[in-house]
Amino acid sequence: MELKGKTAVITGSNSGIGLGVARELAKAGANVVLNSFTDNDEDHALAADIGSEFGVEARYIKADMSKPDECRALIEKAGVCDILVNNAGIQYVAGIDEFPVEKWDAIIAINMSSAFHTTAAALPVMRKAGWGRVINIASAHGLTASPYKSAYVAAKHGVVGLTKVTALETAEEPITANAICPGYVLTPLVEKQIPDTMKKYNMGRDEVIRNVLLERQPSKEFATVEQLGGTCIFLASDHAAQITGTTISVDGGWTAL
């Protein structure tokens, strides 16, 4: 239980990558605060189940990551934030000249600005505690680009830049800031897309995964939420105390191209 006694706040964590990371941190002994913009019984039950399964404290706090005040209130309501995992994100695909302004604004707000607001609120808490870890879930698109993803690529590059600034501002303190840059990750959302993609390209499952979904991922294998969670555990550990201001790619070689 390497993280026993620590509390991790994970944004956008009632499904997908965020939920996977929360489960791995709880498995390592951390108390966890789950978050999304909904406030359903299922959200609170999800936290209760994690707490029961791993013997940790687990809570769910509603906060809309598109709203600065709610981003900061999330940290305030959590009360403790030893490990901040900024994971919340959305996607939209269109050419620059056709990209809806409201979609641009939403992606920049949720994927990038939310990380600024939560970090700004969390740093004083970490400083008071005398220890902290800021872990930003960026993307391979924080290091490279793809067409038709202008807002997402801009936001993820911004997250990498914010990570570096956070690291420099805390360099002489027992606080680190790093970004994890995943390639394609097998989440329930991606899994649901596979049958439609198979129909579109008239391909079998393995072929569509290898040649369409993972076209740019040299390993031809998805990253997993468990691998991302394990990377978070490493970055939160004492072994990573001198790793700060950098990116760790979990992308099957994507950014090596």
Catalytic residue among 60, 92, 152, 201: 152
User: Which residues, 6+ apart, have CB-to-CB distance to 60 below 8 Å?
Assistant: 14, 33, 34, 35, 43, 44, 46, 47
User: Which residues, 6+ apart, have CB-to-CB distance to 245 below 8 Å?
Assistant: 163, 164, 166, 167, 168, 171, 177, 178
Decide: 82 and 8 in contact? Cβ < 8 Å.
yes
Q: What are phi and psi of 178, to 5 degrees?
A: -145, 160
Calculate the CA 242 to chain-centre distance.
21
- As given in the structure block, the two tokens for residue 3 are 């993280």
Q: Give yes or no: 152 in active site.
A: yes
108: which DSSP letter?
I
Of the CA atoms within 13 Å of residue 43, those in its CB half-sphere come to 18
- As given in the structure block, the two tokens for residue 215 are 């076209």
Helix (H) or strand (E) holding 151: helix 150-169
Of the CA atoms within 13 Å of residue 74, those in its CB half-sphere come to 36
Annotated catalytic sites, by residue?
Answer: 152
